[in-house]
Structure 1
Amino acid sequence: MPYCPKCKYEYRSGIKTCPDCDAQLVDELSKPSSRDTELVVVGAYPFESIAQQAKLLLESNGIETVLLNEIMSQTDIVLVFADGGVKALVRKEDAERAKEILAEL
């Protein structure tokens, strides 16, 4: 199955160009090494339940997401607010698309 290297979507065999961004599809997506992956914050939420909704929305759109302060939010809400809430982080190259998706939340 071909994939879009920019959008990370999978397409049916026979499709050569991504209909969303016009990029040439590739047979396999390259996996960045964890050492080279830069994460950026795309959202901060006062409650873990809202952060989980954001994570679910992003991951259902093919964007891997990490939540920071997820454990602390279950123990001390005052500390979470002091630290800016539960943060959603994604790869730098996915940040722009993630922010567009999160605007729907």
Structure 2
Amino acid sequence: MPEEFVTIGRYLDPTAAHVARSVLEAHGIEAQVMGEFTGNLEPVFNIFGGTSKGGIRLLVRTEDADEATAILTEDV
């Protein structure tokens, strides 16, 4: 059965997304950054009437979501 991942954060800056990923991994939580090559275009899309909720997404396993959110809230 494949693991399910959920988005716990959205970023416009890929560096910030990777810093958050590194913090989580230092706490033993697997994290993934998705959309880093298109996510920083979101302000451009929204200028032209887009309603995108894209951005650069930080994902963790569903079962780690609460702990990951708590870690980022206290560490960032």
When the two structures are superposed, what TM-score results if normalisation uses the length of structure 2? 0.76
Q: Is the 8 A contact 1:46 1:84 kept in 2?
A: no
Amino acid at match of 2:72: L
Q: CA RMSD in A?
A: 2.2
Which residue matches 1:10?
none
Q: Which runs of 5+ in 1 are unaligned?
A: 1-34
Higher strand share: 2
Amino acid at match of 1:85: G
How many residue pairs end up in the alignment?
70
Which residue matches 1:93?
63
Q: Which runs of 5+ in 2 are unaligned?
A: 46-51
d(CA) in 1 for partners of 2:53, 2:15: 17
After TM superposition, what 4+ stretches of structure 1 lie above 6 angstroms from structure 2? none
d(CA) in 2 for partners of 1:48, 1:83: 16
Which residue matches 2:21?
55
Q: Give 1:87 deviation, angstroms.
A: 0.5
When the two structures are superposed, what TM-score results if normalisation uses the length of structure 1? 0.57
Q: Tell which has more relative contact order, 1 or 2 (C-alpha 8 A, sep 6+).
A: 2
